[in-house]
Amino acid sequence: MNETIFDLETATDTGVAGRLGISRREFLKFCTATAATLGLPASAEAAIAKAMESAQRPSVIWLQFQECTGCSESLLRAEHPTIDKLILDVISLDYHETLFAAAGHQAEAARKAAMKAHKGKYVLVVEGAIPVKEKGIYCKIGGQTAVDMLKECAADAAAVIAIGSCASWGGMPATDPNPTGASSVAEILGKTVVTIPGCPPNPYNFLATVVHFLTFKSLPAVDQLGRPLFAYSRLIHESCERRAHFDAGRFAIEFGDEGHRKGFCLYKLGCKGPETYANCPTIGFNDLGEVSWPVGCGHPCIGCTEKGVGFTKPIHQLATLKSVEPPLFYPRIVEGQGAISLGGAALLAGIAGAAAGAVVVMSKKLGKDNDDQGKGGKSGKSRDEP
C-alpha cells in the first residue's frame, strides 16, 4: 500500500508523466481536467491516462493559409501542458510553418515524409481560410495553392480539424466583399469537419479534442456546424459572470460610465453573448481563469465563434436574444432631465388646473353629502329615504 502511494506521488521518471516533467499526481490532475473539459465523467480520467501513456503520439500536420497566426499564438500560450511538452510528448507536430526550424524545400519535404509515414493515421489541422477566386492564386505555399495543398493533405488524414474562425467559416477574410473568395475547410472538402472557431479559439478546446481522439479513437460529438459539443453547446450568456446584472436590468450604457465601471451587463453596448455559443466564460484564456476573456475585461463579446455574427454585425448592434429577454423597462443609471416647451407647459398647467378644480368641486359635494346625512335625524327622514 505504501509502495503504491509512493509511486503515485513521486513517479516522474517513467511514462508520459516523466516526459512531461511532472509528478504522477499532477499528470492525473491533468487527465481529470481534460475529462471535465470534454464533459466526461470523472472515471474517464483513467482511460485518458492509459491512452496517453500507451498509445503512440498522433502525428499532426498543421497548415496555415489566410490567417493572422493568432490560433498558433493561442496554442503557444497553453500552460497545462506547455507548448514544448505538448508537441514533444502529447502529439507529434510534424509540420507547422511558424514553429518549424526548417524552411523552404526542407519544410515541404518533412510534410510529405510525415504524410507517407503516417498515411491514414495523422491528424490534419487547418488554420486560416482558403481563397478560391482566380484558381486560388491569392495563397500559395511552396508554389502550391492552398486549395490543392488542403485537398492533398486531407486525402489520407484520419481526422481533419479546422481551428479558428477563418478555417471554420471564413472569418474576417470572408467578410463582404470577400475579394479572394475566402472559404472554409468544410466548403473546400465538401464534408463536415470538426471546427473549433474563435478569434483566437481557446487552446484547451483543441487539446481536449486531440486527447479525445487519442483516447477513444474518434472525434468528440459535434453540433450541426461541426463544433464540439463539450465547448460550444451553451450560449456565452448562460455562464457569463455579468448575467445577474442582465436579469436585474443593470446595464452599462456607455464605455466608462458608472455602470461600466461597476461591472454591469454589456448587452446595451452590443455584447453578442446572448447569441454566441462558446465556453469562454468558464475556461478563460492564458491560464488566468474565467476573468481573462473579453467580457471579463470590460469589452462586449463580438461573437467570433458564430458565422453571421462575428466580423459581420457591428460591435454596437444589439444581439439577437435566443433564450431570454432583458427587462428593458428599467431606467438608466443616471436618468437624464427632459425639457418642455412653453406651449407644453401651458397645456399641462391647464390640465392641472382643471384637475384641481374637479377635486375642489368633488370635495364640496362630499362635504355637502356628509352634512345632509348628519341632518337626516332632524328632518325626520331616514338615510334611505329620498
Per-residue pLDDT tens digits for 262-314 = 999 999 999 999 999 999 988 877 766 666 788 988 999 999 999 999 999 99
Distance, in Å, from the CA atom of 147 to the CA atom of 130, rounded to the nearest integer, reads 6
Query: Above 50 in pLDDT, residue 2?
Result: no
Q: What local confidence, expressed as pLDDT, does residue 218 receive?
A: 84
pLDDT band at 88; cut points 50, 70, 90:
low
pLDDT band at 377; cut points 50, 70, 90:
very low
- Residue whose grid cell is 460610465: 257
Cell of 275: 447569441
Mutual angle of helices 44-54 and 203-216, in 10-degree steps: 80
Comparing 139-143, 165-169, 321-325, 355-359, which segment has the lowest mean pLDDT?
Answer: 355-359
Q: Residue 178: CB partners within 8 Å, gap ≥ 6? A: 170
211-268 per-position pLDDT tens digit: 888 778 888 899 999 999 999 999 999 999 999 999 999 999 999 999 999 999 999 9
What's the CATH code, domain 55-232? 3.40.50.700
27-45 per-position pLDDT tens digit: 777 777 777 666 666 666 6
Residue 127 Cα distances to 42, 62, 73, 75, 98, angstroms: 32, 7, 11, 12, 12
Q: Which carries the bigger pLDDT value, residue 324 or residue 215?
A: 215
Query: Above 60 in pLDDT, residue 10?
Result: no
Whether omega before 281 lies within 30 degrees of 0, making that bond cis, reads no
Q: Which residues of 196-220 are buried (b: 16+ CB within 10 A; e: fewer)?
A: bbbbbbbbbbbbbbbbbbbbeeebb
- Predicted structure pTM score: 0.71
Count each helix (H run) and each strand (E run) in the chain, helices first: 18, 9
pLDDT band at 25; cut points 50, 70, 90:
confident
pLDDT band at 22; cut points 50, 70, 90:
low
* CB 274 within 8 Å of CB 325: no
Pairing of strands 194-196, 144-145: unpaired
* CB 341 within 8 Å of CB 349: no
Distance, in Å, from the CA atom of 115 to the CA atom of 61, rounded to the nearest integer, reads 8
Determine the residue type at 90: V
* Percentage of residues in the chain having pLDDT higher than 90: 45
Query: Above 80 in pLDDT, residue 378?
Result: no
- pLDDT averaged over every residue in the chain: 78
Rg (CA), the chain: 32
106 strand-pairing partners: none
pLDDT band at 57; cut points 50, 70, 90:
confident
Distance, in Å, from the CA atom of 64 to the CA atom of 93, rounded to the nearest integer, reads 14
Q: What local confidence, expressed as pLDDT, does residue 7 receive?
A: 41
Q: Which carries the bigger pLDDT value, residue 183 or residue 360?
A: 183
* CB 285 within 8 Å of CB 292: yes
What are the residue ranges of CATH 3.40.50.700 in the chain? 55-232
Q: Mean of the pLDDT values across residues 144-153?
A: 96
What's the CATH code, domain 234-336? 4.10.480.10
Helix (H, G, I), strand (E, B) or coil at 96: strand
Q: What local confidence, expressed as pLDDT, does residue 300 receive?
A: 94
* Percentage of residues in the chain having pLDDT higher than 70: 69
Q: Which carries the bigger pLDDT value, residue 288 or residue 351?
A: 288
Whether omega before 81 lies within 30 degrees of 0, making that bond cis, reads yes
* CB 22 within 8 Å of CB 79: no
168 strand-pairing partners: none
What are the residue ranges of CATH 4.10.480.10 in the chain? 234-336
